[in-house]
Amino acid sequence: MAKYLPQLPNADKITLRMLLNQDSGLHNYPNTTEHDWPMKDAIPPEKIIAILKTDKPDFAPGEKWAYTNSNYAVLAYIVARVSGVTYSDFLKKNIFAPLAMASSGSGFAAQAGAATPYEGGAGKFRVAEPLISLDLFYGAGSAVSTAQDLARWDAALNHGRQTRSLGDDTADVGGADSRPDSAGERAVEGDGRSGGIDSDARGAGRHWHTV
């Protein structure tokens, strides 16, 4: 990671695989009690990285497993650096367009047509405020899509089309890896593309992936 973001904690010890496998030790974000996070309109990724570099790591790289949005935010930043285009443009060119996901996008620019979020209970629903810019979540949750487009994404995953659109060398990146999680229990994680295989408390098998 030091090649791209040497200013982040433990950058010289964290690999891209650690970011994918969620065992980098980077502190999770955005906790609004810890920092004054930008939350409205377009947010440059450099603002997110500038805050992340001030956080202390939660544990040594590779020591254990704990999910953190920071891993995906850093990966998105690296994708933009290496590709020479913004993260949202990279998604559009390499994922959304090839899979005909015409109603999908990423970040604040794609948020205008998204469903209105609500909060509250029965009979007391109200529009959730403030409406947080999806730019804040960057690679950890900035995507906007529809049920139809997600069906196309899922079909592409199941038939290997997504791997081919990104290049054959992506097939071996990340992968399932079992490490103790932050609570000391076993957790098996995938690379965020192909998912992972684990079992629940009853021992029943589960297969999952994140988008």
Flag whether pLDDT at 159 surpasses 90. Answer: no
Give residue 162's pLDDT. 58
Instruction: Determine contact, residues 113/69, Cβ cutoff 8 Å.
Output: no
Q: Could you report the per-residue pLDDT of 25-67, keeping only the tens digit for each?
A: 999 999 888 999 999 999 999 999 999 999 999 999 999 999 9
Q: What is the mean pLDDT of the chain?
A: 83
Q: How far apart are CA 206 and CA 38, in angstroms?
A: 37
Q: Could you report the per-residue pLDDT of 136-153, keeping only the tens digit for each?
A: 999 999 999 999 999 999
Q: How far apart are CA 96 and CA 116, in angstroms?
A: 22
Comparing 95-109, 110-124, 167-181, the range with the smallest average pLDDT is 167-181
Domains of the chain, first to last: 16-170 (3.40.710.10)
Picking from 81, 74, 82, 64, the residue whose alpha carbon sits closest to that of residue 167 is 82
Picking from 23, 10, 7, 13, the residue whose alpha carbon sits closest to that of residue 176 is 23
Percent of the chain with pLDDT over 90: 64
Flag whether pLDDT at 185 surpasses 50. Answer: no
Of 161 and 153, the structure prediction assigns the larger pLDDT to 153
Of 67 and 182, the structure prediction assigns the larger pLDDT to 67
Amino acid at position 134, single letter: L
Give residue 206's pLDDT. 53
